[in-house]
Structure 1
Amino acid sequence: MTTRSASLADLPFVYQCLCDLEEMVLDKVAFGAVFERNLANPTVHYVLAEADNQLVGFASCHVQALLHHAGLVGEIQEMYVLPDWRSQGVGQQLVEHFMDLARRENWVHLEVTSNRRRTQTHRFYERIGFVQPSLKFVWKGEFKV
């Protein structure tokens, strides 16, 4: 199993992964625009896992300098492993890719947010060393004019 950075050619696979993760059909045009813009952003890392000459997983990590950490913090925003490849080390390899990047770039933290309903995912992150020191709150209002 290997990991590599995503490219624009990987858009169809990443789109399907995120639709599956979110359990909904995402706006394909808007998704593509965000994907392309983020590929050009050096603080956004899109990583794919490959096994047996096929794509089997995707993860993204956004890095920002945060005052309350006095340094760079990476946050895993999305991670999806194809169902047939779960529990085979794919997710851990994707996370380890970001951990290696964190060491090379001197991040002070690596964080992840996961939907409350994804209890198996929570156990995965706890098993590989993540802890839950805080809660995240999301405003449910709209910003549309």
Structure 2
Amino acid sequence: MTIKKISTSDISNIAKLLRNLYSELGEEKECIKNVSEQLILELIDNYKTEILKVTESNKIIGFITLTESQAIYCGGKYGSIDELYVEPEYRSKKIGAILIEKAKEVGRDKKWKRIEVTAPADNNSKTLKFYSNKEFVTAGPKLKLKLE
């Protein structure tokens, strides 16, 4: 199993996995509609977003997206996990934990003050328990305002 940044040849596979993720989460149709290879390419080309893939036998079995931002409330630069996905047949094999450890490494290298992630509001969700077990703490709800 290896973890490294995606290349342009991985973009179509990542797009497929993103659609799987959003479908599984029951996300709005707009999220699935927004998935395009062009958008993924633009995001990784701006150097603020990194997508790291986990491969086994040359197959992408999971990924994490990390985006750099900045805010006064956290003392400067920080990162956010925008998506994290592991193929269902590879879950419960600590791949998500490995991706979180890699995210911490990236954050330390980039001198981030912290890493944030949006999790479901359901306090009993597996996702919330997963992040809590990785030392994430609840920091309040996240809301959105569409501008388009």
* Same fold per superposition (TM over 0.5): yes
* Distance in structure 2 (CA, Å) of the matches to 1:52 and 1:36: 24
Please, which runs of 5 or more residues in structure 2 have no aligned partner? 24-28
* Distance in structure 2 (CA, Å) of the matches to 1:98 and 1:18: 18
Equivalent residue, structure 2, for 1:136: 142
* Distance in structure 2 (CA, Å) of the matches to 1:65 and 1:143: 21
Equivalent residue, structure 2, for 1:126: 132
Correspondent of 1:65 among 45, 67, 70: 70
Tell me which amino acid in the other structure corresponds to 1:3: I
Give how far 1:11 is off: 1.4
Where 2:93 maps in the other structure, the secondary structure is coil
Correspondent of 1:116 among 115, 118, 121: 121
* Distance in structure 2 (CA, Å) of the matches to 1:46 and 1:71: 22
Equivalent residue, structure 1, for 2:39: 34
* Distance in structure 2 (CA, Å) of the matches to 1:103 and 1:26: 31
Percent of aligned positions with the same letter in both sequences?
A: 23
Give how far 1:107 is off: 0.7
Question: Could you tell me the TM-score, scaled by structure 2's length?
Answer: 0.86
1:12 correspondence with 2:12: yes
What is the aligned-residue RMSD (CA, Å)? 2.0
Deviation digits for residues 82-105 of structure 1 (CA, Å, limit 9, x no counterpart): 000001011111111110011112
Deviation digits for residues 21-71 of structure 1 (CA, Å, limit 9, x no counterpart): 11168337x622210101112111100011233211011011012122121
Where 2:101 maps in the other structure, the secondary structure is helix
Where in structure 1 do 4 or more consecutive aligned residues deviate above 6 Å? none
**31-40 vs 82-91, greater mean Cα deviation:** 31-40
Q: Indicate if the aligned counterparts of 1:56 and 1:81 stay in contact, CA closer than 8 A.
A: yes
Give how far 1:18 is off: 1.0
Q: Indicate if the aligned counterparts of 1:7 and 1:39 stay in contact, CA closer than 8 A.
A: no
Equivalent residue, structure 2, for 1:87: 92
* Distance in structure 2 (CA, Å) of the matches to 1:105 and 1:61: 11
Question: Could you tell me the TM-score, scaled by structure 1's length?
Answer: 0.87
Correspondent of 1:46 among 43, 46, 51: 51
Please, which runs of 5 or more residues in structure 1 have no aligned partner? none
Q: Indicate if the aligned counterparts of 1:114 and 1:122 stay in contact, CA closer than 8 A.
A: yes
Equivalent residue, structure 2, for 1:106: 111
